[in-house]
Amino acid sequence: MNSPLKRVAVACLLMFGLLMANVTYLGSVKAEGLRNDSRNVRMLFNRYNIDRGWITADNGKTTLAKTVDTGDKQFRFEREYPLGKPFTHVVGWFAPESASGIEAAMNRYLDGSHPDLVVRRAIDLVSGKPAKGASVDLTLNTKAQEVAYKDLAGTGKRGAVVALEPKTGKILAMVSVPSYDPNPLAKANKDTVNKAYNKLNKDDNKPLLNRAINLTFAPGSTFKTVTSAAYLSEDTSRDENTQVDAPDALPLPGTNISLPNYHGESCGGRATLVQALTISCNTPFAIMGMDVGYDKLKEQAEKFGVGQPLKIPMEVAPSDIGPDEGKAALAKTAIGQQSNQMTPLQMAMVAAGIANQGTVMKPYLVNKIMGPDGAEIDGTDPEELDEAVTPEVAGELTKMMISVVEHGTGGAARIPGITVAGKTGTAETLPGKPSHAWFISFAPVGDDPKVAVAVFVESGSAGNDATGGAVAAPIAHDVMQAVLGR
| 266/426 Cα distance (integer angstroms) | 17
Task: State the alpha helices, DSSP H only, in 79-219.
Answer: 88-91, 101-105, 107-110, 118-127, 142-154, 190-202
Q: Check: CB of residue 385 under 8 Å from CB of residue 308.
A: yes
| 89/177 Cα distance (integer angstroms) | 9
Q: Check: CB of residue 158 under 8 Å from CB of residue 471.
A: no
Q: Check: CB of residue 159 under 8 Å from CB of residue 453.
A: no
* Paired strand residues for 303: none
Q: What secondary structure letter does DSSP report for 58?
A: T
What are the residue numbers of the active site?
221
DSSP string, 1-50: --HHHHHHHHHHHHHHHHHHHHHHHHHHTSHHHHHH-TT-HHHHHHHHTS
**Cis omega (within 30 of 0) on the bond before 251?**
no
Q: Check: CB of residue 387 under 8 Å from CB of residue 178.
A: no
SS3 content of the chain, % helix, strand, coil (to 5): 40, 20, 40
Q: Is 271 exposed, middle or buried (0-12, 13-18, 19+ CB in 10 A)?
A: buried
